Structure 1
Amino acid sequence: MMKRVFTLALVALALTACKKEEDDAIELDEIVYRQVNGSFKYTLPLNLDVNNDGQDDFTFGNVLVSDAAGAHNLFYIRPLEYNQVLLNLQEEVSLGHWVEALRADEAVEEDLAKKQQWGRDPGFVLDLRQTVKSEVFYEGPLTESNTLFVGVRLMEDEKYKTGWVRLNYTVGSDEVEVNDVAFRLTPNRPLKAGQQ
């Protein structure tokens, strides 16, 4: 009997000594990074599932456009569902806007003063135009540098998660490479282009 009373007293003491932990969630600021090592061209688009949830988040493709200056190929990234791409609203292409060209360590964020805005429209990265004389002209963010970061936002649980996609283009090629991608798990927090 004494053992039971002693055991009950110990249990009661242990319960009163335990203090209730507060329900403070620790916010993890983790970045998800992965290699893609894919490419896209006129006849071969690329679908990208950034967060590996089994649903494509972005499509990379190329559209053939013909105008008074001749035929040309426009390479683009198109957000699917409610995802977004960082667009440069200062410069227009015949079908929309160029993406905002980001360099390594630049903040991936909207800047309305510079006319950089998140959008659900396709963002164009490169325009290849071949003349009748077989001359090739290049226009767009990927012509200034052969490597470019494109700002992207993923919609998850009705919140946006900021990220980037690295593209590469070699002059003379008919395709654009998609090297890698990263996004921050914490919603509505920017990161820097190339940050892993």
Structure 2
Amino acid sequence: MSKGRITREAILSTAFDLASKHGLESLTIGELAKCCGMSKSGLFAHFNSKENLQISVLEFANLTFRERVIVPARDLGDEDIEHKLKALLDNWLGWNHSFQGSCMFLDAWKETGGCSSPLQVVLKKTIAVWLDYLTIQIEKGIENQQFRKDLDAKQACFELYGLYLSAHLFYSIQGEAISQQHFWQGVERLLTDWRVAS
């Protein structure tokens, strides 16, 4: 890996940490340069604009999300989809809680919602890929007869994501323990409804 690439990765890692704590919109070239021990002009040369910096951080966050949430669950295989889904959901909550209970993607959505900027385009694509992945896992559960054959995978994904959004809100109001309790009760209720009757 080239020196320039190594420097860029180090910058993005620092930017990711800052955006995780304070939100993507609050990320500035000046603040990041100070944290990286660089000049503004030196940092600017890597990204050319605040928007490009934010997009790069989102892309970095997406790669980190895959590594922390998807890859460990993917290694479980597809034989037991319910077990795999629970691992995905556990990793997903862990991702959320690693940012003081505030998901970077959701925060960025609130900050940029309603516009069609390049940042919003990247954000929509990132979330759409995750929703598609969840839907595919549910479809696999239907195919291997763990879940009912009449289950609507897209509707099931919608309901699952709704639980995550609720957990996100309850975390900020009532804390992690209560948020997780309600989340997993909701997940178990959904899975009970999805399972093939024995």
TM-score by length of 1: 0.24
- Which structure has the bigger radius of gyration? 1
- The structure carrying a bigger strand percent of its residues is 1
TM-score by length of 2: 0.24
Highest RCO, 1 vs 2 (Cα 8 Å, sep ≥ 6)? 1
